[in-house]
Amino acid sequence: MKVKESIGRRIFCKINILIMIGMMVITAYPLIHVLFASMSDSGELLKHRGLLLYPIGFSLKAYGLVMKNPNITSGYLTTLLVVVSGTLLNLFMTSIGAFVLSRRNLRGKNILMAVIIITMYVSGGMIPRYLIIANTLHLKDSLFSLILPGAISTYNLIIMRTNFMQIPQSLEEAARIDGANDISILFKVILPLSVPVLAVMTLFYGVSHWNAWFDAMLFLRERSKYPLQLIMREILISSSTSAMSDSGAYEIGESIKYATIIFTTVPILLVYPFIQRYFVKGIMVGAIKG
CA distance 77 to 228: 8
Chain mean position to CA 81: 14
CA distance 16 to 10: 10
pLDDT tens by residue, the chain, 290 residues: 555 667 778 888 889 899 999 998 888 888 888 888 878 877 677 677 777 787 887 777 777 777 777 777 788 888 889 999 999 999 999 999 889 888 888 888 888 888 888 888 887 788 888 888 888 888 888 888 888 888 888 888 988 888 888 888 888 888 888 888 888 888 888 888 888 888 888 888 988 888 888 888 888 888 888 888 888 777 766 644 444 444 444 445 667 778 878 877 877 777 777 766 666 555 555 444 44
DSSP code at position 136: I
Beta carbons within 8 Å of 180's beta carbon, 6+ residues apart: 188, 189
**In this predicted structure, what is the pLDDT of residue 191?**
86
**In this predicted structure, what is the pLDDT of residue 4?**
64
**In this predicted structure, what is the pLDDT of residue 2?**
54
**In this predicted structure, what is the pLDDT of residue 166?**
84
Going along the chain from its start, the domains and CATH numbers come out as 70-285 (1.10.3720.10)
How many Cα neighbours within 13 Å face the side chain of 139?
Answer: 18
CA distance 16 to 8: 12
Return phi, psi of residue 263, to 5°: -60, -35
Please report, for residues 15, 27, 182, 267, 283, the alpha-carbon distance to residue 38 in angstroms, rounded to integers and kept in the order given. Answer: 35, 18, 53, 16, 35
Tell me which residue of 268, 270, 255, 266 sits closest to 63, measured CA to CA. Answer: 255
